[in-house]
């Protein structure tokens, strides 16, 4: 493996991306860097962790920043061929070096859906409820392995609360969320996610390099995700005064798989006990937060 390099893809139009097809069967206008990110995510989340392919790409991908790590890999394209009788080389081995995507992560700007419910079970980002054979709705459960209920109960989408409906019905749902240990329910935050490194390249600090690249970019571009008052207006931003205009002050959230909490803790994230544990595609997750030190900035106008 040569020295890895990292590329950044800023928010891009992904119209026409077919969630039912893999990265190498997408329309030609889809950015190559995003297809490369999906190549890694399919290898890790779909094939390794059994997340359904159609659930891996979501609406946040188009509005997110994606970092992709590549490695220069020397590969044999065609093997050497020799004459069995004489040992004479009939065709020499042919090799080539290609830039192979080996890791990725994304940063999703605010606003976000409400914090996941503790104990909740989410399939394709939708909170589920279990309906038993008697038709009664039971508590949310789950475990690693797959998204189905361990009891065989039929999942169904949970009815949204009035707060959930208000946040999701608006183009920019900046309404208040429930407070947790490290989030007051109001402050805008960005969300780190879809961190993945293919198995063959683990143990080479690829994930750490991705995080440090994203962290450095966020520190250098603290206003990138802040909304423009001129473009959106105060009403759509739900701002009655300039002080109410949403702006990012360095808060980062991560919905971390419990199996990699230790990694995020080494990067400075802390588990948000107030968020509890929930399940995404059958995999237990916890919320974690970190605040970066950024320069004080004024809202976009």
Report pLDDT digits (tens) over 137-183.
333 233 333 333 333 344 455 555 555 555 444 444 556 899 999 99
Q: Report the alpha-carbon distance of residue 143 to residue 90 in Å, rounded.
A: 56
- Confidence class of residue 295 from pLDDT cuts 50, 70 and 90? confident
* Chain segment 178-234, per-residue pLDDT in tens: 999 999 998 999 999 999 999 999 999 999 999 999 999 999 999 999 987 666 666
Tell me: pLDDT of 104 over 80: yes
* Chain segment 45-55, per-residue pLDDT in tens: 999 999 999 99
Instruction: Assign domain 5-291 to a CATH class.
Output: alpha beta
Contacts of 2 (CB under 8 A, 6+ apart): 71, 72, 73, 97
In the numeric block, the tokens 């119209």 are attached to 15
User: Residue 75 in contact with residue 95, Cβ under 8 Å?
Assistant: yes
User: Residue 55 in contact with residue 46, Cβ under 8 Å?
Assistant: no
Write down the pLDDT at residue 133. Answer: 41
- DSSP string covering 197-254, please? E-GGGTTSSHHHHHHHHHHHHHHH-TTTTPPBHHHHHHHHTT-SSGGGS----SEEEE
Number of neighbours of residue 300 by Cβ within 10 angstroms? 16
* Most confidently predicted of 11-25, 163-177, 286-300: 11-25
Domain boundaries, the chain: 5-291
Q: What is the pTM of this model?
A: 0.79
Bridge partner residues of 251 (DSSP): 291
Give the pair of three-digit tokens for residue 269. 């994230």
| Pick from 229, 232, 160, 223: nearest CA to 188 | 223
Averaged pLDDT for residues 278-287 = 97
Return the H-helix or E-strand segment holding 130: strand 126-131
Number of neighbours of residue 273 by Cβ within 10 angstroms? 13
Q: What separation in angstroms does the CA of 94 have from each of 71, 84, 87, 88, 90?
A: 20, 19, 18, 16, 12
Mean predicted lDDT score pLDDT of the chain: 83
User: Residue 102 in contact with residue 264, Cβ under 8 Å?
Assistant: no
Write down the pLDDT at residue 88. Answer: 86
């Amino acid at each position: 493996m040569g020295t890895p390099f990292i590329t950044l893809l800023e928010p891009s139009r992904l119209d026409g991306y077919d969630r039912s097809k893999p990265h190498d069967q997408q329309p030609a206008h889809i950015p190559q860097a995003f297809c490369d990110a999906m190549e890694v995510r399919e290898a890790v989340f779909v094939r390794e962790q059994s997340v359904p392919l159609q659930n891996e790409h979501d609406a946040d991908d188009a509005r997110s920043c994606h970092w992709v790590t590549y490695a220069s890999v020397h590969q044999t394209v065609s093997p050497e061929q020799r004459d069995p009788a004489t040992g004479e080389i009939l065709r020499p081995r042919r090799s080539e070096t290609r830039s192979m995507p080996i890791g990725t992560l994304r940063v999703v700007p605010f606003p976000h859906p409400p914090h996941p419910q503790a104990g909740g079970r989410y399939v394709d980002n939708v909170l589920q409820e279990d309906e038993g054979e008697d038709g009664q709705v039971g508590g949310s459960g789950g475990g690693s392995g797959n998204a189905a209920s361990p009891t065989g109960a039929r999942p169904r989408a949970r009815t949204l609360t009035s707060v959930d409906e208000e946040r999701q019905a608006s183009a920019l749902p900046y309404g208040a969320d429930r407070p947790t240990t490290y989030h007051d329910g109001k402050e805008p935050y960005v969300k780190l996610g879809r961190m993945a490194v293919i198995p063959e390249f683990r143990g080479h600090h690829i994930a750490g390099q991705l995080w440090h690249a994203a962290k450095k970019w966020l520190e250098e571009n603290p206003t990138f995700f802040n909304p423009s008052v001129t473009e959106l207006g105060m009403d759509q931003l739900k701002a009655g005064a300039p002080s109410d205009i949403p702006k990012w002050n360095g808060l980062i959230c991560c919905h971390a798989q419990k199996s990699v909490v230790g990694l995020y803790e080494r990067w400075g994230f802390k588990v948000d006990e107030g968020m509890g544990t929930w399940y995404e595609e059958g995999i237990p997750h916890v919320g974690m937060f970190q605040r970066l030190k950024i320069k004080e900035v004024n809202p976009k106008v």
